[in-house]
């Protein structure tokens, strides 16, 4: 009897055996439907075998082959196994992750409409640095050849990707371009359509409709799409003629999936390029330290674009201005206020960046010190004044703003700190005639809202923009000449060792919004710590100096990229249950380390940064090793033990190469 070993979308890390009815054409990679208990699920055939450990009479048959999809090619099957083993994620979920969502009812799908490019508008001829970078990226076009393209904002990295893509497409091969979630804008799509005239482009991201995603997936799988552009999930697109992978803004945290299957799309992209023997280029103005270190050690070809491409545009001047001074009003110091007034007078635009939405991050009783707390999380409630609500940013909890202090009855409740709404109001009061636009997750909830706003900004209908990191990237507004940054110091207080690395990346990107065209740009960062190395390097736009000092620090402290980490996170209804589970995990881990003489350290359990979320207590255990191999010897048996011993009420997950500790 022919038996099929199938990967099913379940949380246990094993494959399931079914027998194969005669007449079904199934091979490795085939997508099929099978029964699992009372459910009918979609699975992927991994292996065809003759024998099963399960008695033949207890095996159930495959129901059918899902003919609306194409079989997964061999490299995606191998990639699933890699993701499962490297990231310690259940094999079936890794396979499931590769499939597009299927429609409830089968429909005849339309072919994607390959839109013709608008007006043929060849891009600018590449400058010498760009030509050198292009040659570097494609130096070995049929081998695994990773490179880092480190170029300041506006240096023309995107033009290099397009030129490389053009060549690869001309050879009849496919290109995969991964971008951060927030960068996949209509602006980018238009740019692609213009730069790669007539190229067949498929888009893949999670907000597409089910039928669109399926159409584009199939276009990629058939080899029809010449360029696939997408967010992290696109790293799993089937590409029979893959010739090049580009990861733009490779340092961006949105490439890391933080729930479900935990993987890093940049690292998976590198592995995939190796599997397929194709070049891969990672681009950034501020590469992740992991990437930076790999380039420095010569593992990646290191390509640089040190200047802005547009001859008229220079890097914006960065000034550090006092955060708190007697003349500060609503968080805005006089230097920044004056600079804004000047821009308004000149008809230029200002962007005020603050990475907090809402009116104020907390509400405080001036008499007794009471603070509005979420009843379900160990976190403050954020004041959303226009809605008259206190909202938790970690769960769905919301409540009306109380009229008086619930503890002492005092009516003087004070909003503390600043969010986008508060700045928006302050600016409208300071400049009643100015047009102020707030752009954050709250103001862009409705579909199409962000697009409308972008059009208004580009048309010069806005004087001051107040926004969160939604505005940090990818947008090009020629009349934007001033960027003000508030609240940046928060990162300096963070317990996360990556906080300053991230701050630099974010600030450099926000700064990159200013002065992209003929008008020179200026950036003002309000800070209490003007001597901090992160700001000193920012003033000089000197990422290399900053990266090198961070690297020495990490080496000294034994942190990534000099060590490798895995994080066990657990949550449950009681602190005792979570602590008991994590305590046991540490004990088992340490005896495993001792028994096998592994170079791993298992740290004691700690509460998560948000120690309680949505009513669940949360804790973590960190495992660290200076040797990747030792960590990967340690994890599988440890995980098996955790699976065996974990109590029902505690939910846990493993995160290999964690990016955050929230």
Helix (H/G/I), strand (E/B), else coil: 502: helix
Q: Is 156 in the site for ligand ADP (CB under 6 A)?
A: yes
Which of Zn ion, ligand ADP, none sits in contact with 559, Cβ below 5 to 8 A by type?
none
Rounded to whole angstroms, the Cα distance separating 351 from 377 reads: 33
SS3 readout for 180-223: CHHHCCHHHHHHHHHHCCCCCEEEECCCCCHHHHHHHHHHHHCC
Rounded to whole angstroms, the Cα distance separating 358 from 387 reads: 10
> How many residues in total does the chain contain?
662
Q: Is 514 in the site for Zn ion (CB under 5 A)?
A: no
Q: Is-contact 17 54, C-beta < 8 A? A: yes
Q: Exactly one of 80, 88, 158, 526 binds ligand ADP (CB under 6 A); which one?
A: 158
Tell the smallest beta-carbon distance from residue 616 to Zn ion (Å): 11
Closer of 218 and 413 to Zn ion (Cβ): 413
Q: Give every CB contact of residue 647 below 8 A, 6+ residues apart in sequence.
A: 572, 577, 580, 581
The angle subtended at Cα 25 by Cα 21 and Cα 30, nearest 5°, is 105
Q: Exactly one of 80, 130, 526, 625 binds ligand ADP (CB under 6 A); which one?
A: 130
Closer of 24 and 611 to Zn ion (Cβ): 611
What is the C-alpha end-to-end distance of the chain, expressed in Å? 50
Closer of 392 and 483 to Zn ion (Cβ): 392
Q: Which stretch binds Zn ion (CB under 5 A): 78-86, 387-395, 418-426, 557-565?
A: 387-395
Closer of 360 and 514 to ligand ADP (Cβ): 514
Q: Is 513 in the site for ligand ADP (CB under 6 A)?
A: no
Tell the smallest beta-carbon distance from residue 127 to ligand ADP (Å): 4
Tell the smallest beta-carbon distance from residue 421 to ligand ADP (Å): 30
Q: Which stretch binds ligand ADP (CB under 6 A): 13-21, 124-132, 316-324, 401-409?
A: 124-132
Tell the smallest beta-carbon distance from residue 573 to Zn ion (Å): 15
Closer of 176 and 423 to ligand ADP (Cβ): 176
Using CB under 6 A as the binding rule, the residues of this chain from 310 to 339 that contact ligand ADP are 310
Closest CA to 507 of 634, 351, 611, 390: 351
Which of ligand ADP, Zn ion, none sits in contact with 155, Cβ below 5 to 8 A by type?
ligand ADP
Closer of 130 and 350 to ligand ADP (Cβ): 130
Q: What are the residues facing 652 on neighbouring strands?
A: 570
Tell the smallest beta-carbon distance from residue 440 to Zn ion (Å): 19
Rounded to whole angstroms, the Cα distance separating 43 from 97 reads: 11
Residue 525 to residues 321, 335, 405, 485, 592, Cα–Cα distance (Å): 6, 10, 35, 5, 49
Closer of 124 and 647 to ligand ADP (Cβ): 124
Rounded to whole angstroms, the Cα distance separating 148 from 350 reads: 32
Which of ligand ADP, Zn ion, none sits in contact with 287, Cβ below 5 to 8 A by type?
none
Q: Is 153 in the site for ligand ADP (CB under 6 A)?
A: yes
Q: Is 164 in the site for ligand ADP (CB under 6 A)?
A: no
- What's the half-sphere exposure (Cβ side, CA atoms, 13 Å) at 183? 23
Rounded to whole angstroms, the Cα distance separating 579 from 458 reads: 53
Q: Is 84 in the site for ligand ADP (CB under 6 A)?
A: no
Q: Which stretch binds Zn ion (CB under 5 A): 32-40, 384-392, 416-424, 628-636?
A: 384-392
Q: Exactly one of 397, 425, 532, 639 binds Zn ion (CB under 5 A); which one?
A: 397
Q: Is-contact 564 598, C-beta < 8 A? A: no
Q: Exactly one of 405, 462, 514, 525 binds Zn ion (CB under 5 A); which one?
A: 405
Rounded to whole angstroms, the Cα distance separating 412 from 44 reads: 61
Q: Exactly one of 74, 121, 139, 368 binds Zn ion (CB under 5 A); which one?
A: 368
30-39 per-residue burial string, b: 16 or more CB within 10 A, e: under 16? bbbebebeee
Q: Is 608 in the site for Zn ion (CB under 5 A)?
A: no
Closer of 469 and 646 to ligand ADP (Cβ): 469
Query: What are the tokens at 133?
Result: 């970078």
Question: How many residues sit close enough to ligand ADP to count as binding (CB under 6 A)?
Answer: 14
Q: Is-contact 418 486, C-beta < 8 A? A: yes
Which of the 8 DSSP states describes residue 122? P
Q: Exactly one of 367, 559, 610, 611 binds Zn ion (CB under 5 A); which one?
A: 367
The secondary structure of the chain in percent helix, strand, coil, rounded to multiples of 5, reads 35, 25, 40
Contacts with ligand ADP, 257-296, as mask; x by CB under 6 A: ----------------------------------------
Closer of 77 and 313 to ligand ADP (Cβ): 313
The H-or-E segment that residue 147 falls in is strand 145-151
Residue 587 to residues 475, 594, 624, 648, Cα–Cα distance (Å): 50, 11, 15, 19
Query: What are the tokens at 444?
Result: 């862009």
* Chain positions contacting ligand ADP, by CB under 6 A: 124, 126-127, 130, 151, 153-159, 309-310
* Chain positions contacting Zn ion, by CB under 5 A: 365, 367-368, 370, 374, 376-377, 392, 394-395, 397, 405, 407-408, 410
């Amino acid at each position: 009897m022919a038996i099929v070993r199938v990967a099913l979308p379940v949380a246990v890390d094993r494959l399931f055996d079914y027998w194969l009815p005669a007449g079904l054409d199934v091979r490795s990679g085939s997508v099929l439907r099978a029964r699992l208990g009372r459910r009918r699920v979609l699975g992927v055939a991994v292996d065809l075998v003759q024998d099963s450990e399960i008695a033949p009479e207890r095996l159930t048959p495959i129901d059918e082959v899902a003919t609306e999809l194409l079989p997964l090619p061999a490299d995606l099957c191998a990639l699933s196994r890699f993701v499962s083993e490297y990231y310690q994620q259940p094999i079936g979920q890794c396979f499931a992750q590769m499939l597009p969502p299927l429609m409830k009812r089968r429909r005849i799908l339309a072919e994607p409409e390959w839109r013709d490019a608008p007006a043929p508008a060849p891009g600018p001829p590449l400058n010498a640095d760009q030509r050198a970078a292009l040659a570097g990226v494609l130096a070995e076009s049929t081998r695994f050849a990773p490179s880092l393209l480190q170029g300041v904002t506006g240096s023309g990295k995107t033009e290099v990707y397009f030129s490389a893509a053009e060549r690869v497409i001309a050879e009849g091969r496919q290109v995969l371009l991964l971008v951060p979630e927030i960068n996949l804008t209509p602006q980018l799509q238009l740019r692609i359509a213009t730069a790669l005239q007539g190229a067949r482009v498929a888009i893949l991201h999670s907000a597409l409709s089910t039928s669109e995603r399926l159409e584009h997936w199939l276009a990629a799988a058939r080899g029809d799409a010449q360029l696939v552009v997408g967010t992290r999930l696109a790293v799993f697109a089937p590409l029979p003629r893959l010739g090049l992978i580009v990861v733009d803004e490779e340092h961006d945290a949105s490439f890391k999936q933080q729930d479900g299957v935990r993987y890093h799309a940049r690292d998976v992209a590198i592995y995939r390029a190796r599997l397929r023997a194709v070049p891969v280029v990672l681009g950034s103005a501020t590469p992740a330290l992991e990437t930076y270190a790999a380039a420095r050690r010569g593992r990646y070809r290191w390509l640089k674009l040190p200047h802005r491409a547009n001859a008229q545009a220079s890097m914006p001047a960065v000034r550090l201005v006092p955060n708190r001074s007697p003349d500060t009003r609503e968080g805005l110091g006089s230097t920044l206020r004056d600079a804004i007034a000047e821009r308004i007078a000149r008809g230029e635009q200002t962007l005020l960046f603050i990475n907090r939405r809402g009116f104020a991050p907390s509400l405080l009783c001036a008499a007794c010190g009471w603070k509005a707390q979420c009843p379900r999380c160990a976190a403050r409630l954020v004041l959303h004044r226009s809605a008259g609500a206190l909202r938790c940013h970690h769960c769905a909890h919301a409540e009306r703003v109380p009229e008086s202090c619930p503890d002492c009855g005092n009516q003087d409740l004070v909003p503390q700190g600043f969010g986008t709404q508060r700045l928006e109001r302050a600016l409208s009061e300071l400049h009643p005639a100015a047009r102020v636009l707030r752009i954050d997750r709250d103001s862009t909830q409705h579909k199409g809202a962000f697009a409308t706003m972008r059009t208004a900004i580009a048309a010069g209908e806005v004087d001051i923009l107040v926004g969160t990191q939604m505005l940090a990237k990818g947008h090009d507004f020629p009349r934007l000449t001033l960027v003000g940054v508030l609240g940046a110091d928060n990162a300096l207080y963070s317990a996360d060792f990556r906080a300053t690395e991230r701050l630099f990346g974010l600030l450099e990107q926000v700064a990159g919004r200013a002065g992209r065209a003929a008008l020179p740009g200026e950036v003002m960062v309000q800070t209490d710590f003007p001597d901090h190395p992160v700001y000193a390097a920012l003033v000089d736009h000197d990422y290399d100096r900053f990266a090198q000092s961070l690297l020495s620090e990490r080496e000294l402290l034994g942190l990534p990229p000099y060590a490798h980490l895995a994080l066990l996170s657990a949550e449950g209804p009681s602190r005792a249950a979570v602590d008991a589970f994590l305590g046991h995990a540490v004990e088992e881990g340490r005896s495993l380390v001792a028994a096998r003489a592994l170079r791993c350290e298992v740290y004691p359990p700690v509460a998560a940064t948000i120690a309680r979320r949505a009513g669940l207590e949360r804790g973590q255990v960190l495992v660290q090793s200076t040797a990747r191999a030792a960590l990967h010897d340690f994890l599988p048996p440890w995980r098996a033990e955790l699976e065996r011993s974990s109590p029902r009420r505690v939910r846990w997950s493993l995160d290999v190469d964690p990016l955050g500790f929230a």
